Amino acid sequence: MDRATFFSAQAGRTLEAPRRSRTRFTIGDVVRHKAFDFRGVIFDIDPVFANSEEWYQSIPEEIRPDREQPYYHLLAESDDNDYVAYVSQQNLIGDSLAGPVSHPEVHRYFEQFENGRYRMRQTLTH
């Protein structure tokens, strides 16, 4: 498999990842966690786990996801609060039918919720 390297500020090191990664979701998609009661909108994607080792080890071993899969940065919301979440692909399902996300930072990244997903602000795209 063809691999590339990239620097992860969160992990604080250079990581290796497949040059092409098969993501199930894309930036602007609304998703829900399979096991925990929160949902959110994707605002960034890492091709493999790219957070700190401390963060990874804090996940109980019996539910710790594999590092070699896409990880998504979410503007997340639960009944209690809004926050940023970092979630493995295996733990997410699509949730666009439930409507827009009410996270207060949504409008910083996205223009509007349309046809079940958000469109990224033009000023943030390449």
pLDDT at 94 over 70: yes
pLDDT at 48 over 60: yes
DSSP 63: G
Residue 125 pLDDT: 58
Residue 52 included in any domain: yes
Residue 53 included in any domain: yes
The domain that holds 103 is classified in CATH as 2.30.30.390
Residue 57 included in any domain: yes
Q: Work out the percent of the chain whose per-residue pLDDT is above 90.
A: 75
pLDDT digits (tens, 9 = 90+) for 74-92: 999 999 999 999 999 999 9
Helix (H) or strand (E) holding 55: helix 53-57
Residue 116 pLDDT: 92
Residue 93 included in any domain: yes
Residue 7 pLDDT: 72
Region 46-65 average pLDDT: 93
Residue 94 included in any domain: yes
Instruction: Please report, for residues 2, 65, 76, 79, 102, the alpha-carbon distance to residue 86 in angstroms, rounded to integers and kept in the order given.
Output: 25, 12, 9, 18, 18
Residue 8 included in any domain: no
Task: For residue 92, give its domain range.
Answer: 23-124
Q: How many CB atoms lie within 10 A of CB 69?
A: 18
In the numeric block, which tokens belong to residue 53? 């080792």
Q: How far apart are CA 2 and CA 87, in angstroms?
A: 24
Band of the pLDDT at 6, cuts 50, 70, 90?
low
Residue 4 included in any domain: no
Number of independent structural domains in the chain: 1
- pTM value is 0.85
